[in-house]
Amino acid sequence: MIAFVKGIVCSCGKDCIVVENHGIGYRIYVANPLKFQSGNETTVYTYQYVREDAIMLYGFSTVEGHDLFLRLISVKGVGPRTALGMLAVCDAQDMIAAIEQNDVKFMKSLPGIGAKTAGQIILDLKGKLVETENEADEEGNPTIKEALEALRSLGYKAGELQGIAKELSLCELDNTEAYIRHALGILAKRKGV
């Protein structure tokens, strides 16, 4: 409902800040309140959390942090407080890399995350946090692009297809089907099949 709050930081607590906007002070729970300095104007991207006994605003200094938070709370067993705690001790890029590399050990090291939840986060989010890089060769070769789209429709995730475009561009094959077969072979080798 409230996409962002732009205003002056009035105070910083241990887990929240208060941002004044047109005479209204918004208490916003943030991962690292010390990143914000009292008296400075700031823009905080927010998520409004509503439950029976409370309405709370969670805030982020970047859109990327906000988007990762939304992805994390979509995972069963991860609530807003847990997701915020994870982001307080881990950079968004490091967390995305850990998820893409199936690094359960790293995920378990984050506060409030056990083995089961770490596995669930990786299962639910792997491939959804990175976009397939459009290699120059892929853009130049519509057949490769068509093959990658076909693989996506078969259920392969963006993370799995990320390096495939470059490898496919090194081959000169006749048609889309040949590129698909070659890509499936590469994917099978990577999985050890």
d(CA 103, CA 186): 22
Q: What is the amino acid identity at position 155?
A: G
Distance, CA of 114 to CA of 111 (rounded, Å): 9
- Residue 22 has a pLDDT of 93
Low-confidence stretches of the chain (pLDDT beneath 50): 132-139
Indicate the DSSP class of residue 133: P
CA distance 144 to 124: 27
Geometric angle at alpha carbon 24, from 18 and 25, rounded to 5°: 10
* Residue for token pair 């208060």: 18
Q: How much is the pLDDT for 7?
A: 96
Cα–Cα distance between 17 and 27 in angstroms, integer? 6
Which pair of structure tokens corresponds to residue 185?
Answer: 């072979």
120's tokens: 């669930």
Q: Bridge-partner residues for 48, per DSSP?
A: 57
> Which pTM was predicted?
0.66
- Residue 100 contacts residue 126 (beta carbons within 8 Å): yes
pLDDT at 192: 67
Per the DSSP assignment, residues forming a β-bridge with 49 are 56
Q: Cα(85)–Cα(83) distance, rounded to whole angstroms?
A: 5
